[in-house]
Structure 1
């Protein structure tokens, strides 16, 4: 009887809690779509959130697509209805301070946001509404980051360069070893999230203290290297603390089973510190935070879980520092469906227990809602990685966003769509149109009589034409076509007798009366190409920069150049002099090369190169003083032939100008667009400001510069040419280099050409010339490459004798008879 009485009391208590959740504290949501701008259902949040300065919006696992959409709608409500004006992401602190600097250099805001915000969000289709809103709001909703990690693009590409420049402005110069050490440190922090056991943490702390000593002497608000002193102090604090955590605790080495919640204590403390740093310097800002439930939680000791009781999340730290009422936490939970980030396999949400919050809401036929939680109610909930946990959830979150059925995140595969942002389009058209002197005006929604839809294609092959100017002949109303050639043009009833003009450089202008479009649901406009006696002009909606093109090129390397093992026959030709007789000769040999890595980045030149060679044939011919053959080629057997000095700079990109970590050492310039081998290419010139063997692949370089051609169609590098002037002072045995002494300059020239074979590019031709001892030149002619399944290669122990017919096949290479002229030394030395 006593047992039945206890059960009855428990049932009544649970029923009362369920009633309490359903009737009093449940805000049913009419929609979670980010496109829904009617916020009547969310208005009760105004009273619940009150005067809180910070609202934390959590998510269970970073893998719930419609949670992203629901949070986007909440951000819009908080921004528009409650005057929250900052959105802070669980993303790198340093990166968000680079946005406006790079926008001023010509980068678009959406590109900058994608470099700052972690790709678990930016690459998700369900996050695109948030991106669009941030671009549209511009300064009305500021963005920042609070994560201590250095995972985003700006950290990877620009932080080392910024620290180098900062050291010079602080009047102390980092030497080469210190730069290399900083480079390695930032690589560890941004790529491996760990440091080796042999890592010299004390050296890092000494190096950071040198910076801090200089910075502490300055006013904290003084701008140095484009940012205030207090930002640099915060960045160095993060570098030191994160490196220390990785060195002492090695959190990334632990398996999922070994990793405990308390292993995140350092990161959460740093994230809270970064947000408090932002608040200190922006005391009047109202902030929305976007991140994970686990980081935003408050008192995890309120849950009956021993592991979680030792974890101190950033939400707890913020509540203690700023006060409970100043920080409002909204966690998220889902009752069913699938979840997964863009790079993961789908997982099914476990069925919630009968006594859980999720099950009660389902039984009450609630689909989407926000539930405010009582701090004293004992409940079961699965908001933390879908583990059902019992406890006082009102002490963990102030409220809970409930979504009955979640959907996994999907990869976004389109281009960012500006189509609906008419004001933004008008600004773009005003900047890019070469046929109009005034910008297009926008039409009020109430004045729109009709929207004309259409697609613009080429007359010759029906390919879409992007960025066509479309405007009325007698009014300033207009738009442009998007990347797919589609457009929509709003008109008023006053425009019905007007004419639409279609204009684009490279095509004949067309005029069509508006009446032609009124009876069609979607019109198709075919434009005819027109030839001009002008150099080629490239039109783009956003200003192209050399670094912007290079970023796309680097991202496309995996697609353009094989990442699998391959073999390729290569004809080598070396023209040189014999040391004793000074007679000239040409040496040719054919290798069957095998590369087990493919085009994967290698850290240092001539190290870790997984390449073997099978010698197929070798021959030699003497030359007279004019460079003519004295005799025919004769076959020879050589045990060893020196490695020809060509450099496959794409393969070695970790140690040259294709490594963004080294960009602070270079100047880049987009100098031209031109035709090359039937392709339209960008020409990008580069010059190394601070040459060393770590940034140029040249051991003694004092000057290093060159250019590259990048195919506009697929962002592939098709040609690289480099010039190196070597430092005389670094030559250990100057007597050995007589040519250098007599001509007062020692230089090298390299040319590498790439040709597409099937889906990938491989070396087609490489040329090297130097004026060392013998003024030798070498050429490499690449033939058909074959991708291999196996990564093993056996060099035959015996070689076969070949005849002239064997050589004739290899002499058919289309560049075999081409000769590059040797560089004029005097002209070379001027550069």
Structure 2
């Protein structure tokens, strides 16, 4: 009896276990069914699945697409995720990642920021780290960061290894046209543009003959064709040639994706990009009065909430109508791959999205009653994958940019994924190291004015720094300065300026306010016994600049470092008043040291430590406005950026003006005049500069660049919207300082002046923007690694309105007007 009872109890326990297991399996299957987006047959039927999006600002779509990518990869064996981003950019990112020169974050440089700045993309990178077989690639002909940095060197190596000779002049022209895209000199010059095409096509024929024995060779050859097609598209657009929508770009993107498929014949591909590019037979849509009314409503909405200029209404309407000429890449791919390709659009009924062109959150307008969106809402759908194969009726859908179009959508896409409510993307936040980096607010400040001893004139841009630490500053245009006091009473504060003898004051002798007088130096000053017995070797201006360029790695730090800056930006106009005034203390991290680049901002990261502003405009502006434009200012640096006289020397006529004194050392002064002004040589693009000129000061012993001045005047142009004539001037003043034998930015001051005239040539106003960057401190040993890209410096920052850091630092936003017509210069 007891044995039976024990058996019965054991049986009950086993039954409970089996029941729990069954319920667990049942629940798991139900969960799997709920989470699965595609059927098993769907996952096996296709080799290419293109996942579109209405705009590039659809957060809910991004999240759903990530879920689809994971499912397609894990259940369908799709191992290539190909973004609407540069072909070469993503090849290079994979190459650097595979050899561990870069971590997975390198894909944030290879994939466009519209995607890579989002939390969804970060989730994707986390997923890729644990699913290494899934690769990120790109199909776009529009290249970006890594192309600018690496492509020409890779191309040159390929040609050298295959005995293809490229002259220095041709290499410079390739960099100018393919990388910098300085094309304006070719726009109105048929002879030069024809010659450019002949040289590029001749090169293309040569590299086509190279054996495609490895992946790198294949990609470089394909990239050369791809970027040339994009150059052709850009140049013809500048020449006002009639081009139907984006057909040339779409044709090349289709070729690039086909190239990827042929390169990886056994892999299945997921495409990630705009629905427009993935569409088929889009030209068959019908433009209706309903569509036109939606365009007008959207135009009025945008006009009411944005400060940005945008197209005229008629241009917006004509742009939509021009879709009747469209042949997107999806149509070309469909012709090639037929039933092996599935293109999926997305749409929504309500909510908001980010209009990336105007940086505004816009609502989705109510869909027409005879639209697929309205029908799905009536059916109670929240999310739904709608296959279009058997739907032959015409209906409206807003799958392209939230403008309802009337078409046989089964001819345009294979399916539409409906998400009831849209919302903008969520952008990544970055770990802030403020608790580690904040400079304690314990030191008082000393201030004063630096004057010429004989004339009592103010000495602008004088260097002020301590003898025993890296704290420094510079004087402003009125000779005024302010710097944190040193705790070491026996240290010295040193004052120096080019053309003057240096002076110093012991910290314990400093007052709250100080007047410092510097004597002009004797040009025949005896520096040391070596100079007494031997004259300086006579060098041409070109030789001096060449030596300065050659000695960059010796003179400027090549390892990671931190540098904190005071950065101030002021916007005002002469008829009204100050419209924006912001200043901040910013800590930066440069991960690769100081060297020339077409994209210097890529190596910089930063955090705002303290910020104050004088207007409410800060709260309205996003990342790159105000002090968020620091990355733009660093693009004007003579060592960091290649678009200046130091690197583009052949674009300038140089004159050696002799030597001046700086801190007891002889310094060459070289004047330069631009003989071919443009984006390639100045960094300022459309409209192209008319002329530029300036001075550069180079140490005669180590050939370090100590100071740089450049004035750029750009061609006047007529605003398409206002019909006013507009002209820009830019003035750059920069100095470098020596810290422990290496040179760092001491000052970078950029003044942008805009003058506006009516269609009748009546002067209307002058607008000025002043961006002033001054070094505060430098750390090269105990370096703090920051993770926020400098381009996102301002994003998400919450300023402290009662920050005590600013208590003894008066706002310096006084404006003193002093016009210089030669450079459109306004001094403050």
Determine whether 1:146 maps to 2:139: yes
Structure 2 counterpart of 1:331: 345
Structure 1 counterpart of 2:268: 286
Sort the Cα spacing of 1:319 and 1:790 in 2 relative to 1 into closer, same or farther, 3 A: farther
Of 160, 170, 175, the residue aligned with 2:162 is: 170
Determine whether 1:98 maps to 2:53: no
Please, what is the CA RMSD of the aligned residues? Answer: 5.5
- For the Cα contact (< 8 Å) 1:194–1:250, is it kept in 2? no
Sort the Cα spacing of 1:39 and 1:269 in 2 relative to 1 into closer, same or farther, 3 A: farther
Of 194, 202, 221, the residue aligned with 1:233 is: 221
Flag structure 2 segments of 5+ consecutive residues without an equivalent: 1-29, 288-320, 438-470, 482-494, 504-516, 530-540, 566-586, 610-629, 641-645, 660-665, 668-699, 707-735, 738-744, 750-770, 778-808, 822-828
Determine whether 1:376 maps to 2:358: no
Determine whether 1:75 maps to 2:69: yes
Structure 2 counterpart of 1:444: none
- For the Cα contact (< 8 Å) 1:204–1:240, is it kept in 2? no
Of 202, 205, 219, the residue aligned with 2:197 is: 205
CA distance in 1 between counterparts of 2:32 and 2:61 reads 18
Flag structure 1 segments of 5+ consecutive residues without an equivalent: 1-35, 417-456, 466-559, 576-585, 590-615, 629-644, 650-654, 689-693, 696-707, 766-783, 797-831
- For the Cα contact (< 8 Å) 2:139–2:256, is it kept in 1? yes
- Report the count of equivalent residues: 494
Of 352, 368, 382, the residue aligned with 1:353 is: 368
Sort the Cα spacing of 1:48 and 1:302 in 2 relative to 1 into closer, same or farther, 3 A: farther
Of 311, 315, 320, the residue aligned with 2:335 is: 320
- For the Cα contact (< 8 Å) 2:355–2:362, is it kept in 1? no
Sort the Cα spacing of 1:162 and 1:363 in 2 relative to 1 into closer, same or farther, 3 A: same
Structure 1 counterpart of 2:763: none
Of 195, 220, 229, the residue aligned with 2:212 is: 220
Sort the Cα spacing of 1:336 and 1:786 in 2 relative to 1 into closer, same or farther, 3 A: same
Sort the Cα spacing of 1:197 and 1:74 in 2 relative to 1 into closer, same or farther, 3 A: farther
Deviation per CA, 1:85-104: give whole Å up to 9, x if none.
11111110011111233225
- For the Cα contact (< 8 Å) 1:672–1:682, is it kept in 2? yes
Structure 2 counterpart of 1:408: 424
Structure 2 counterpart of 1:135: 129
Structure 2 counterpart of 1:183: 175
1:399-798 equivalent positions in 2, closer than 5 A: 399-415=415-431, 463=435, 619=520, 670=558, 748-750=703-705, 752-753=736-737, 754=745, 761-762=773-774, 788=813, 792-794=817-819
Deviation per CA, 1:742-766: give whole Å up to 9, x if none.
xxx986345522569999742699x
CA distance in 2 between counterparts of 1:720 and 1:194 reads 24
Sort the Cα spacing of 1:203 and 1:399 in 2 relative to 1 into closer, same or farther, 3 A: same
Sort the Cα spacing of 1:144 and 1:791 in 2 relative to 1 into closer, same or farther, 3 A: farther
CA distance in 1 between counterparts of 2:327 and 2:472 reads 46
Sort the Cα spacing of 1:45 and 1:132 in 2 relative to 1 into closer, same or farther, 3 A: same
Sort the Cα spacing of 1:732 and 1:301 in 2 relative to 1 into closer, same or farther, 3 A: closer
Q: Secondary structure at the match of 2:360?
A: coil
CA distance in 2 between counterparts of 1:408 and 1:710 reads 25
Q: Secondary structure at the match of 1:97?
A: helix
Sort the Cα spacing of 1:568 and 1:145 in 2 relative to 1 into closer, same or farther, 3 A: farther
CA distance in 2 between counterparts of 1:349 and 1:681 reads 41
Sort the Cα spacing of 1:95 and 1:240 in 2 relative to 1 into closer, same or farther, 3 A: same
Sort the Cα spacing of 1:627 and 1:65 in 2 relative to 1 into closer, same or farther, 3 A: same
Of 87, 91, 113, the residue aligned with 1:119 is: 113
Structure 2 counterpart of 1:632: none
1:82 Cα deviation from its structure 2 partner: 1.3
CA distance in 2 between counterparts of 1:156 and 1:561 reads 34
Q: Secondary structure at the match of 1:748?
A: coil
Sort the Cα spacing of 1:247 and 1:757 in 2 relative to 1 into closer, same or farther, 3 A: closer
TM-score (norm 1): 0.50
- For the Cα contact (< 8 Å) 1:330–1:397, is it kept in 2? yes
Sort the Cα spacing of 1:407 and 1:171 in 2 relative to 1 into closer, same or farther, 3 A: same
1:163 Cα deviation from its structure 2 partner: 2.5
- For the Cα contact (< 8 Å) 2:351–2:421, is it kept in 1? yes
TM-score (norm 2): 0.50
Query: Max radius of gyration: which structure?
Result: 1
1:409 Cα deviation from its structure 2 partner: 2.1
Q: Secondary structure at the match of 1:350?
A: coil
Sort the Cα spacing of 1:212 and 1:389 in 2 relative to 1 into closer, same or farther, 3 A: closer
- For the Cα contact (< 8 Å) 1:83–1:286, is it kept in 2? yes
1:14-93 equivalent positions in 2, closer than 5 A: 38=32, 40-42=34-36, 44-48=38-42, 50-93=44-87
- For the Cα contact (< 8 Å) 1:60–1:332, is it kept in 2? yes
- For the Cα contact (< 8 Å) 2:43–2:72, is it kept in 1? no
CA distance in 1 between counterparts of 2:604 and 2:111 reads 31
Structure 2 counterpart of 1:159: 151
